[in-house]
């Protein structure tokens, strides 16, 4: 198996997962601008609360085959590949995903002695690959969109659902090597591979997340109707989902889609769709807003029903998924904002929090006190922790 020198830029969910699976067969440099994060990893601690990542950093730390650094000086000079996994956050002013960090990294690579092949893993706004082709004619740039899920990032990376290689040069002899670079890391050897142009790869990523968002809002809308009509949404959804063309998965009601990717990727498509004769994408973004408003109003109705004199609303957990420590754009944050705007007092129980300096709500660390003092407990995902106070819990989760 060919051993390559690979620099991974951005030690987040994507960069760490990619660096771990590539480290089976290759020499890795993991580079991040965040000094604290780098020091943490060097000392054997994962900056992300993920079992596979924690296990990996405990044993690997910093060594000759896996270097962790926040110093970019000379790191690209001897690399065969650079994998870029920096954030592309939603930029409200440009109505697009922000590629500033990505372009900064490419500028640094451009100035290296012998520029390596660039593989972009960050989610791209539509048209970026065309822009990069014109701006950096001398560089070989590929877009391999990422589909991992937080909470199972490393496992997903070893078990790709598909490998998409977006290139603006179909004849490039690098495509074959990129293909084996990824396929060599896989648990199974029947991974579908698709070679596309840059724009098609960009759309595959954005449409995949749009479809997932659509599934969430679709089943949530069934749940809204069922709750209003006092019907069992679980039975309805299971009945619908047992059609194999629909599938009995990814269908459990929630407060709305959220997380890092679905909100920003659907917004990216929404803006493109402003110029198109099409309705689904704009509707799905609006449907998620409507769902969150409906949930907040239902909580308020419940509070009024219990007639507590000074009601305290408890929010049990902020994470979007059971196994994730990520709160970015969690749907429940919007619900908290609506409740607080309406003048309700909110307290949050979130054991995985690092810092809530930017939030206005109060945090309670003692679960027993939380359960005792709250008039109502709101849980996007139900937990055994709450079974003894079931009558106080408002959730749309199945349990």
Residues catalogued as catalytic:
261
- Residue 251 lies near ligand NAD (rule: CB under 6 A): no
When binding is defined by CB under 6 A, the residue of 18, 21, 23, 37 that contacts ligand NAD is: 37
Q: Rule CB under 6 A: say whether 34 interacts with ligand NAD.
A: yes
For residue 166, which of 135, 190, 197, 193 has the smallest C-alpha distance? 197
Alpha-carbon distance of 129 to 125, in angstroms, equals 9
Nearest to 367 by CA among 379, 359, 358: 379
What is the closest distance, in whole angstroms, from the C-beta atom of residue 267 to ligand NAD in the complex?
12
**Binding of residue 38 to ligand NAD (CB under 6 A):** no
For the chain, the first-to-last Cα distance in angstroms comes to 47
Two structure tokens written together for 99: 């590629």
- Structure tokens, 276: 């198109």
Of 88 and 375, which has the nearer Cβ to ligand NAD? Answer: 88
Closest distance to ligand NAD from the beta carbon of 97 (Å): 7
Shortest distance (Å) from residue 321 CB to ligand NAD = 10
Position among 23, 26, 46, 88 found at the interface with ligand NAD (CB under 6 A)? 88
Confirm or reject binding of residue 183 to ligand NAD (CB under 6 A).
no
For residue 322, CA distances in Å to 318, 319, 350 come to 10, 7, 12
Strand, helix or coil for residue 166 = strand
Asked if residue 206 binds ligand NAD (CB under 6 A), the reply is: no
Binding residues for ligand NAD, total number by CB under 6 A: 27
When asked if residue 128 is in the footprint of ligand NAD (CB under 6 A), the reply is: no
126 scored as a contact of ligand NAD (CB under 6 A): no
Q: Rule CB under 6 A: say whether 329 interacts with ligand NAD.
A: no
Inter-CA distances, 299 with 114, 304, 342, Å: 59, 9, 12
Q: Which two tokens stand for residue 121?
A: 């893993």
Q: Helix 198-228 and helix 280-306: axis angle, to 10°?
A: 30
Q: How far is the CB of 164 from ligand NAD (least distance, A)?
A: 12
- Determine, following the binding rule CB under 6 A, whether residue 224 of this chain makes contact with ligand NAD: no
Per CB under 6 A, the list member of 85, 118, 217, 339 interacting with ligand NAD is 85
- Helix 261-273 with 280-306: angle, nearest 10 deg: 130
Assess 202 for contact with ligand NAD (CB under 6 A).
no
Candidate list 26, 46, 123, 196; residue touching ligand NAD; CB under 6 A: 123
> Helix, strand or coil for residue 70?
coil
Q: How far is the CB of 79 from ligand NAD (least distance, A)?
A: 14
208-243 residues labelled b (16+ CB within 10 A) or e (exposed): bbbebbbbbbbbbebbbebbeeeeebbebbeeeeee
The reply to whether 157 sits near ligand NAD by the rule CB under 6 A is no
Residues 40, 101, 337, 347: which binds ligand NAD (CB under 6 A)? 101
Specify the stretch interacting with ligand NAD by CB under 6 A; choose among 9-17, 236-244, 305-313, 361-369. Answer: 9-17
Q: Decide if residue 260 touches ligand NAD (CB under 6 A).
A: yes
Q: Does 150 bind ligand NAD (CB under 6 A)?
A: yes
**Three-state DSSP string of 114-150:** CCCEEEECCCCCCCHHHHHHHHCCCCCEEECCCCCCC
| DSSP H/E element including 77 | none
Q: Is residue 204 exposed (0-12), middle (13-18) or buried (19+ Cβ within 10 Å)?
A: middle
Task: Please tell me the distance from the alpha carbon of residue 38 to that of residue 47, in angstroms, as a whole number.
Answer: 9
Our CB check for ligand NAD shows the closer of 10 and 198 to be 10
Residue 88 or residue 167: which is nearer to ligand NAD going by CB?
88
In Å, what is the CA distance from 118 to each residue of 9, 190, 196, 200, 249? Answer: 11, 25, 16, 18, 36
Residue 327 found at the interface with ligand NAD (CB under 6 A): no
Which one, 122 or 254, has the nearer CB to ligand NAD? 122
Position 348 contacts ligand NAD (CB under 6 A): no
Segment interacting with ligand NAD (CB under 6 A) among 83-91, 134-142, 237-245, 295-303: 83-91
Q: Does 122 engage in binding with ligand NAD (CB under 6 A)?
A: yes
- Applying CB under 6 A, the residues found at the interface with ligand NAD are 9-15, 31-34, 37, 85-88, 101, 104-105, 121-123, 146, 148, 150, 260-261
């Amino acid at each position: 198996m060919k051993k390559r020198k690979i620099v991974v830029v951005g030690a987040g969910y994507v960069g760490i997962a990619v660096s771990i699976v590539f480290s089976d067969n290759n020499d890795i440099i993991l580079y991040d601008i965040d000094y604290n994060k780098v020091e943490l990893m060097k000392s054997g601690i994962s900056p992300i609360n993920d079992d596979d990542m924690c296990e990996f950093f405990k044993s690997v730390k910093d060594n000759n085959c896996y270097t962790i650094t926040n110093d970019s000086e000379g790191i690209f000079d001897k690399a065969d590949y650079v994998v870029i996994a920096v954030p592309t956050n939603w930029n409200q002013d440009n109505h697009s995903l922000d590629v500033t960090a990505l372009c900064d990294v490419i500028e640094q690579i451009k100035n290296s002695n012998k520029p390596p092949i660039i593989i972009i893993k960050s989610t791209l706004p539509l048209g970026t690959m065309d822009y990069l082709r014109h701006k950096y004619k001398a560089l070989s740039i590929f877009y391999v969109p990422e589909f991992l899920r937080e909470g199972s990032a490393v496992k997903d990376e070893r078990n790709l659902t598909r490998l998409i290689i977006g290139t603006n040069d179909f004849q490039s002899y690098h495509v074959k090597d990129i293909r084996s670079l990824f396929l060599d890391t896989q648990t199974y050897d029947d991974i579908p591979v698709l070679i596309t142009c840059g724009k098609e790869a960009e759309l595959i990523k954005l449409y995949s997340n749009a479809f997932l968002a659509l599934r969430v809002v679709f089943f949530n809308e069934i749940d809204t109707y069922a709750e209003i009509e006092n019907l069992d949404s679980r039975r309805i959804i299971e009945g619908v989902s047992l059609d194999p063309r629909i599938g009995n998965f990814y269908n459990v009601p929630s407060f709305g889609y959220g997380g890092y990717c679905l909100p920003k990727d659907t917004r990216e498509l929404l803006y493109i769709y402003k110029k198109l004769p099409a309705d689904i994408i704009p509707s799905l973004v609006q449907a998620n807003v409507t769902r969150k408003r409906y949930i907040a109003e239902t909580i308020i109705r419940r509070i009024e029903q219990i007639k507590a004199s000074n009601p305290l609303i408890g929010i049990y957990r902020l994470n979007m998924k059971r196994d994730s420590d990520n709160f970015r754009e969690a749907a429940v944050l919007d619900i908290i904002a609506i409740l607080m705007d309406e003048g309700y007092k909110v307290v949050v129980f979130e054991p995985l929090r690092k810092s809530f300096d930017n939030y206005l709500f109060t945090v309670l660390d003692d679960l027993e006190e939380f359960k005792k003092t709250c008039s109502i407990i709101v849980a996007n995902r139900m937990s055994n922790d709450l079974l003894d106070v079931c009558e106080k819990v408002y959730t749309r989760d199945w349990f």
